[in-house]
Homo-oligomer: A and B are copies of this chain.
Amino acid sequence: MSLDALLPNLGEWLRGTGPESDIILSTRIRLARNLADIPFTSRAEAPQKAAVLRRVRDALAKANLPYTLQYHDLAALSPLDRQFLVERQLISPELAAHQGPCGVAFDPRESVSIMINEEDHLRLQVLRSGFALEDAWQDINQLDDALEAHLPYAFHPQFGYLTACPTNVGTGLRASVMLHLPALSLTRQLERTLRAIQKIQLTVRGLHGERSHALGDLYQISNQVTLGKPESRILQELREVIQIILAGERQARQLLLQEQRHVEQNRVARALGTLGSATLITAEETMELLSVVRLGIHLKLIDNIPTTVVNQLFIQCQAAHLQKIVGHTLDGEERNVARARFLKDRLRQLGPQPS
Protein backbone atom coordinates (compact mmCIF):
# COMPACT_ATOMS: atom_id res chain seq x y z
CA MET A 1 0.00 0.00 0.00
CA SER A 2 1.41 3.36 -1.03
CA LEU A 3 2.01 5.98 1.63
CA ASP A 4 0.33 8.54 -0.65
CA ALA A 5 -3.02 7.16 0.51
CA LEU A 6 -2.33 8.81 3.88
CA LEU A 7 -2.04 12.25 2.32
CA PRO A 8 -5.66 13.40 2.76
CA ASN A 9 -5.75 12.22 6.39
CA LEU A 10 -4.87 14.38 9.35
CA GLY A 11 -3.52 11.52 11.42
CA GLU A 12 -4.31 11.16 15.06
CA TRP A 13 -2.02 13.89 16.36
CA LEU A 14 -3.52 16.62 14.19
CA ARG A 15 -7.13 15.44 14.32
CA GLY A 16 -7.91 18.38 16.63
CA THR A 17 -10.40 16.44 18.72
CA GLY A 18 -9.92 15.05 22.21
CA PRO A 19 -9.95 16.74 25.60
CA GLU A 20 -8.43 20.25 25.93
CA SER A 21 -7.70 20.34 22.22
CA ASP A 22 -7.67 24.16 22.21
CA ILE A 23 -4.24 23.87 23.84
CA ILE A 24 -3.19 20.24 23.75
CA LEU A 25 -2.64 18.82 20.30
CA SER A 26 -1.79 15.31 21.31
CA THR A 27 -0.64 12.89 23.94
CA ARG A 28 1.98 10.29 23.14
CA ILE A 29 3.26 7.33 25.12
CA ARG A 30 6.09 5.16 23.93
CA LEU A 31 7.64 2.05 25.40
CA ALA A 32 11.19 0.92 24.65
CA ARG A 33 11.57 -2.85 24.46
CA ASN A 34 14.29 -5.24 23.34
CA LEU A 35 14.50 -8.93 22.59
CA ALA A 36 16.50 -10.74 25.25
CA ASP A 37 18.49 -12.96 22.94
CA ILE A 38 19.73 -10.41 20.36
CA PRO A 39 22.22 -7.54 20.88
CA PHE A 40 20.89 -3.98 20.95
CA THR A 41 20.35 -2.46 17.49
CA SER A 42 23.59 -0.47 17.53
CA ARG A 43 25.59 -3.70 18.13
CA ALA A 44 23.50 -6.08 16.05
CA GLU A 45 24.62 -7.37 12.64
CA ALA A 46 22.29 -7.07 9.68
CA PRO A 47 21.07 -10.73 9.93
CA GLN A 48 20.28 -10.19 13.59
CA LYS A 49 18.33 -7.05 12.77
CA ALA A 50 16.50 -8.97 10.04
CA ALA A 51 15.63 -11.60 12.65
CA VAL A 52 14.22 -8.91 14.94
CA LEU A 53 12.08 -7.63 12.09
CA ARG A 54 10.81 -11.12 11.26
CA ARG A 55 10.08 -12.08 14.86
CA VAL A 56 8.29 -8.83 15.66
CA ARG A 57 6.16 -9.14 12.52
CA ASP A 58 5.29 -12.72 13.48
CA ALA A 59 4.34 -11.60 16.98
CA LEU A 60 2.17 -8.80 15.56
CA ALA A 61 0.44 -11.29 13.29
CA LYS A 62 -0.29 -13.59 16.20
CA ALA A 63 -1.33 -10.85 18.63
CA ASN A 64 -5.04 -10.37 18.78
CA LEU A 65 -5.16 -6.58 18.33
CA PRO A 66 -8.35 -4.54 17.88
CA TYR A 67 -6.90 -2.82 14.76
CA THR A 68 -5.13 -3.91 11.60
CA LEU A 69 -1.56 -2.81 11.07
CA GLN A 70 0.06 -1.63 7.87
CA TYR A 71 3.72 -2.63 7.72
CA HIS A 72 6.45 -0.78 5.83
CA ASP A 73 9.98 -1.99 5.29
CA LEU A 74 12.01 1.21 5.57
CA ALA A 75 14.79 -0.08 3.34
CA ALA A 76 12.22 -0.09 0.52
CA LEU A 77 11.16 3.50 1.10
CA SER A 78 12.65 6.56 -0.57
CA PRO A 79 14.16 9.31 1.62
CA LEU A 80 11.07 11.36 0.74
CA ASP A 81 8.73 8.62 2.04
CA ARG A 82 10.77 8.25 5.23
CA GLN A 83 10.61 12.02 5.80
CA PHE A 84 6.86 11.86 5.13
CA LEU A 85 6.49 9.32 7.97
CA VAL A 86 8.58 11.52 10.27
CA GLU A 87 6.35 14.49 9.55
CA ARG A 88 3.31 12.38 10.44
CA GLN A 89 5.00 11.42 13.74
CA LEU A 90 4.83 7.75 12.77
CA ILE A 91 8.59 7.24 12.92
CA SER A 92 11.43 9.12 14.59
CA PRO A 93 14.12 11.01 12.66
CA GLU A 94 16.54 8.40 14.06
CA LEU A 95 14.65 5.51 12.46
CA ALA A 96 14.40 7.45 9.18
CA ALA A 97 18.20 7.74 9.16
CA HIS A 98 18.83 4.06 10.05
CA GLN A 99 20.87 2.22 7.42
CA GLY A 100 20.17 -1.47 8.20
CA PRO A 101 16.99 -3.55 8.20
CA CYS A 102 14.22 -1.68 9.97
CA GLY A 103 10.53 -1.06 9.63
CA VAL A 104 7.36 0.40 11.01
CA ALA A 105 3.80 -0.84 11.44
CA PHE A 106 0.87 1.47 12.13
CA ASP A 107 -2.89 1.40 12.20
CA PRO A 108 -5.23 3.27 9.82
CA ARG A 109 -5.96 6.01 12.36
CA GLU A 110 -2.18 6.53 12.74
CA SER A 111 -2.74 6.22 16.46
CA VAL A 112 -0.53 3.19 17.07
CA SER A 113 2.91 2.77 15.58
CA ILE A 114 5.58 0.15 16.17
CA MET A 115 9.10 1.06 15.14
CA ILE A 116 11.45 -1.87 14.70
CA ASN A 117 15.23 -1.51 15.03
CA GLU A 118 15.25 2.06 16.20
CA GLU A 119 17.64 2.69 19.12
CA ASP A 120 15.81 -0.22 20.76
CA HIS A 121 14.51 -3.27 18.91
CA LEU A 122 11.01 -2.10 19.59
CA ARG A 123 9.59 1.32 20.12
CA LEU A 124 5.86 1.04 20.70
CA GLN A 125 4.02 4.30 20.38
CA VAL A 126 0.44 5.36 20.93
CA LEU A 127 -0.71 8.82 19.88
CA ARG A 128 -3.99 10.32 21.02
CA SER A 129 -5.60 13.56 20.03
CA GLY A 130 -5.85 16.04 22.93
CA PHE A 131 -5.03 15.34 26.57
CA ALA A 132 -5.49 11.58 26.96
CA LEU A 133 -2.77 10.01 29.07
CA GLU A 134 -5.08 7.34 30.51
CA ASP A 135 -6.46 6.21 27.15
CA ALA A 136 -3.01 6.19 25.60
CA TRP A 137 -1.70 4.17 28.50
CA GLN A 138 -4.44 1.58 28.21
CA ASP A 139 -3.85 1.22 24.48
CA ILE A 140 -0.10 0.86 24.75
CA ASN A 141 -0.28 -1.45 27.75
CA GLN A 142 -2.61 -3.73 25.81
CA LEU A 143 -0.26 -3.70 22.80
CA ASP A 144 2.75 -4.37 25.03
CA ASP A 145 1.06 -7.32 26.76
CA ALA A 146 -0.02 -8.76 23.42
CA LEU A 147 3.53 -8.63 22.09
CA GLU A 148 5.15 -9.84 25.30
CA ALA A 149 3.10 -13.01 25.01
CA HIS A 150 5.03 -13.84 21.85
CA LEU A 151 8.43 -12.16 22.35
CA PRO A 152 11.12 -12.71 25.01
CA TYR A 153 11.65 -9.14 26.27
CA ALA A 154 14.98 -8.24 27.89
CA PHE A 155 13.90 -7.79 31.50
CA HIS A 156 15.86 -7.64 34.73
CA PRO A 157 14.06 -8.44 38.00
CA GLN A 158 15.71 -5.51 39.80
CA PHE A 159 16.03 -2.86 37.04
CA GLY A 160 13.04 -3.70 34.89
CA TYR A 161 13.09 -3.48 31.09
CA LEU A 162 16.60 -3.18 29.70
CA THR A 163 17.20 -0.59 26.99
CA ALA A 164 20.06 0.54 24.75
CA CYS A 165 20.30 3.89 26.51
CA PRO A 166 20.38 3.80 30.34
CA THR A 167 17.96 6.75 30.53
CA ASN A 168 15.18 4.42 29.38
CA VAL A 169 15.87 1.49 31.69
CA GLY A 170 13.07 0.49 34.03
CA THR A 171 9.64 1.19 32.64
CA GLY A 172 11.03 2.13 29.20
CA LEU A 173 8.19 4.61 29.22
CA ARG A 174 8.17 8.10 27.89
CA ALA A 175 4.91 10.01 27.97
CA SER A 176 4.80 13.31 26.07
CA VAL A 177 2.13 15.92 25.75
CA MET A 178 2.30 18.36 22.82
CA LEU A 179 1.01 21.78 23.84
CA HIS A 180 0.35 24.94 21.88
CA LEU A 181 1.43 27.75 24.23
CA PRO A 182 1.32 31.00 22.24
CA ALA A 183 -0.21 33.13 24.99
CA LEU A 184 2.26 32.10 27.68
CA SER A 185 4.96 32.78 25.14
CA LEU A 186 3.58 36.22 24.16
CA THR A 187 3.15 37.32 27.74
CA ARG A 188 6.70 36.20 28.58
CA GLN A 189 5.60 33.85 31.35
CA LEU A 190 6.72 30.78 29.46
CA GLU A 191 10.39 30.80 30.31
CA ARG A 192 9.73 30.80 34.03
CA THR A 193 7.19 28.01 33.65
CA LEU A 194 9.56 25.88 31.62
CA ARG A 195 12.43 26.41 34.07
CA ALA A 196 10.18 25.16 36.86
CA ILE A 197 9.29 22.09 34.81
CA GLN A 198 12.89 21.13 34.31
CA LYS A 199 13.51 21.24 38.04
CA ILE A 200 10.91 18.54 38.59
CA GLN A 201 12.57 16.16 36.15
CA LEU A 202 10.39 16.75 33.15
CA THR A 203 11.80 17.56 29.72
CA VAL A 204 10.67 20.28 27.33
CA ARG A 205 11.36 19.97 23.62
CA GLY A 206 10.12 21.37 20.31
CA LEU A 207 7.97 19.62 17.75
CA HIS A 208 10.65 17.46 16.22
CA GLY A 209 12.07 16.09 19.44
CA GLU A 210 15.49 16.60 20.94
CA ARG A 211 17.52 19.57 19.71
CA SER A 212 14.52 21.14 17.92
CA HIS A 213 13.46 24.52 19.22
CA ALA A 214 9.85 25.39 19.77
CA LEU A 215 8.66 26.34 16.30
CA GLY A 216 5.11 27.61 16.15
CA ASP A 217 4.88 27.76 19.96
CA LEU A 218 4.58 23.98 20.10
CA TYR A 219 6.12 22.36 23.16
CA GLN A 220 6.43 18.69 24.03
CA ILE A 221 6.60 18.03 27.72
CA SER A 222 7.63 14.58 28.86
CA ASN A 223 8.98 12.60 31.80
CA GLN A 224 12.73 12.29 32.19
CA VAL A 225 12.84 9.47 34.72
CA THR A 226 11.89 5.91 33.74
CA LEU A 227 13.46 4.04 36.63
CA GLY A 228 12.28 3.53 40.20
CA LYS A 229 8.68 4.62 39.76
CA PRO A 230 5.71 2.66 38.50
CA GLU A 231 4.12 3.79 35.25
CA SER A 232 1.05 5.07 37.06
CA ARG A 233 3.14 7.49 39.11
CA ILE A 234 5.09 8.75 36.09
CA LEU A 235 1.81 9.48 34.35
CA GLN A 236 0.23 11.06 37.40
CA GLU A 237 3.14 13.45 37.91
CA LEU A 238 3.07 14.49 34.27
CA ARG A 239 -0.71 14.92 34.36
CA GLU A 240 -0.53 17.28 37.32
CA VAL A 241 2.11 19.50 35.72
CA ILE A 242 0.27 19.64 32.41
CA GLN A 243 -2.87 20.73 34.24
CA ILE A 244 -0.98 23.63 35.79
CA ILE A 245 0.44 24.72 32.42
CA LEU A 246 -2.98 24.34 30.84
CA ALA A 247 -4.49 26.68 33.43
CA GLY A 248 -1.62 29.14 32.90
CA GLU A 249 -2.11 29.23 29.12
CA ARG A 250 -5.88 29.67 29.55
CA GLN A 251 -5.36 32.56 31.93
CA ALA A 252 -2.79 34.16 29.63
CA ARG A 253 -5.25 33.88 26.72
CA GLN A 254 -7.96 35.60 28.75
CA LEU A 255 -5.55 38.38 29.67
CA LEU A 256 -4.62 38.85 26.03
CA LEU A 257 -8.28 39.18 25.10
CA GLN A 258 -8.99 41.62 27.89
CA GLU A 259 -5.92 43.78 27.58
CA GLN A 260 -4.87 43.72 23.97
CA ARG A 261 -7.65 42.35 21.91
CA HIS A 262 -6.99 44.82 19.08
CA VAL A 263 -3.29 44.10 19.01
CA GLU A 264 -3.98 40.39 18.84
CA GLN A 265 -6.65 40.83 16.17
CA ASN A 266 -4.14 42.79 14.11
CA ARG A 267 -1.52 40.07 14.53
CA VAL A 268 -3.95 37.38 13.42
CA ALA A 269 -5.19 39.40 10.43
CA ARG A 270 -1.62 40.09 9.33
CA ALA A 271 -0.60 36.46 9.72
CA LEU A 272 -3.46 35.46 7.42
CA GLY A 273 -2.54 38.30 5.06
CA THR A 274 1.04 37.09 4.82
CA LEU A 275 0.04 33.43 4.41
CA GLY A 276 -2.32 34.46 1.63
CA SER A 277 0.01 36.80 -0.21
CA ALA A 278 3.64 35.63 0.09
CA THR A 279 5.21 34.17 -3.04
CA LEU A 280 8.08 32.57 -1.08
CA ILE A 281 7.69 31.10 2.40
CA THR A 282 9.65 28.65 4.53
CA ALA A 283 8.12 25.82 6.58
CA GLU A 284 9.32 27.55 9.75
CA GLU A 285 7.62 30.85 8.99
CA THR A 286 4.47 29.00 7.93
CA MET A 287 4.37 27.24 11.30
CA GLU A 288 4.88 30.50 13.16
CA LEU A 289 2.07 32.18 11.24
CA LEU A 290 -0.28 29.19 11.57
CA SER A 291 0.40 29.28 15.30
CA VAL A 292 -0.89 32.86 15.37
CA VAL A 293 -3.96 31.88 13.33
CA ARG A 294 -4.63 28.90 15.60
CA LEU A 295 -4.60 31.17 18.65
CA GLY A 296 -6.88 33.59 16.76
CA ILE A 297 -9.41 30.81 16.21
CA HIS A 298 -9.45 29.84 19.88
CA LEU A 299 -9.74 33.50 20.94
CA LYS A 300 -12.70 33.72 18.51
CA LEU A 301 -11.01 36.54 16.60
CA ILE A 302 -11.71 34.71 13.34
CA ASP A 303 -14.56 32.41 12.62
CA ASN A 304 -14.34 31.36 9.00
CA ILE A 305 -11.33 29.07 9.39
CA PRO A 306 -11.78 25.73 11.15
CA THR A 307 -8.94 24.46 13.35
CA THR A 308 -8.80 21.35 11.19
CA VAL A 309 -7.82 23.51 8.20
CA VAL A 310 -4.97 25.03 10.20
CA ASN A 311 -3.88 21.54 11.24
CA GLN A 312 -4.07 20.37 7.64
CA LEU A 313 -2.02 23.31 6.39
CA PHE A 314 0.41 22.69 9.21
CA ILE A 315 1.20 19.17 8.05
CA GLN A 316 0.79 19.79 4.33
CA CYS A 317 3.36 22.58 4.36
CA GLN A 318 6.08 20.32 5.72
CA ALA A 319 8.74 19.49 3.13
CA ALA A 320 7.85 15.87 2.33
CA HIS A 321 4.08 16.42 2.37
CA LEU A 322 4.43 19.37 0.05
CA GLN A 323 6.46 17.36 -2.44
CA LYS A 324 3.89 14.57 -2.37
CA ILE A 325 1.10 17.07 -3.00
CA VAL A 326 2.97 18.61 -5.93
CA GLY A 327 3.83 15.15 -7.19
CA HIS A 328 7.60 15.51 -7.62
CA THR A 329 10.72 16.37 -5.65
CA LEU A 330 11.57 20.02 -5.07
CA ASP A 331 14.70 21.69 -3.76
CA GLY A 332 14.51 24.14 -0.85
CA GLU A 333 13.89 27.23 -2.95
CA GLU A 334 11.28 25.46 -5.09
CA ARG A 335 9.53 24.29 -1.94
CA ASN A 336 9.28 27.87 -0.72
CA VAL A 337 7.57 28.82 -3.99
CA ALA A 338 5.28 25.76 -4.01
CA ARG A 339 4.37 26.23 -0.34
CA ALA A 340 3.42 29.86 -0.89
CA ARG A 341 1.27 28.96 -3.90
CA PHE A 342 -0.41 26.12 -2.01
CA LEU A 343 -1.20 28.34 0.99
CA LYS A 344 -2.59 31.09 -1.22
CA ASP A 345 -4.87 28.65 -3.06
CA ARG A 346 -6.13 27.00 0.11
CA LEU A 347 -6.85 30.31 1.84
CA ARG A 348 -8.63 31.67 -1.24
CA GLN A 349 -10.93 28.64 -1.13
CA LEU A 350 -11.96 29.73 2.36
CA GLY A 351 -13.18 33.05 1.01
CA PRO A 352 -12.41 36.62 2.07
CA GLN A 353 -11.27 37.28 5.60
CA PRO A 354 -13.48 39.36 7.86
CA SER A 355 -12.22 42.86 8.56
Contacts and interface: CB of A to CB of B under 8 A. Distances in A.
A256 interface: no
A65 interface: no
A340 B269 CA distance: 11
Interface size class of A (residues with CB under 8 A): 20 to 34
Contact of A280 (B263, B273, B274, B341): B263
A269 B273 contact: no
Interface in A273-287: 273-274, 276-281
A266 interface: yes
Contact of A274 (B265, B270, B344): B270
A191 to B, nearest CB: 27
A272 interface: yes
A36 interface: no
A262 interface: yes
Main secondary structure of the interface of A (DSSP, over half): helix
Contacts of A340: 266
A276 B353 CA distance: 10
> In the assembly, how many copies of this chain are there?
2
A69 to B, nearest CB: 42
Nearest to A341: B355
A63 interface: no
Nearest to A344: B355
A225 interface: no
Interface string A185-226: 000000000000000000000000000000000000000000
Contact of A278 (B269, B281, B337, B341): B269
Interface string A324-336: 0000000001000
B279 A355 contact: yes
A353 B353 CA distance: 15
Interface string A286-328: 0000000000000000000000000000000000000000000
Nearest to A354: B279
B278 A262 contact: no
Contacts of A277: 269-270, 272-274, 276-277, 353
11 contacts: A262-B279, A265-B279, A265-B280, A266-B281, A270-B274, A270-B278, A272-B277, A273-B273, A273-B276, A279-B355, A341-B355
A-B residue pairs, 6 tightest by C-beta: A273-B277, A266-B280, A273-B273, A266-B279, A269-B279, A269-B277
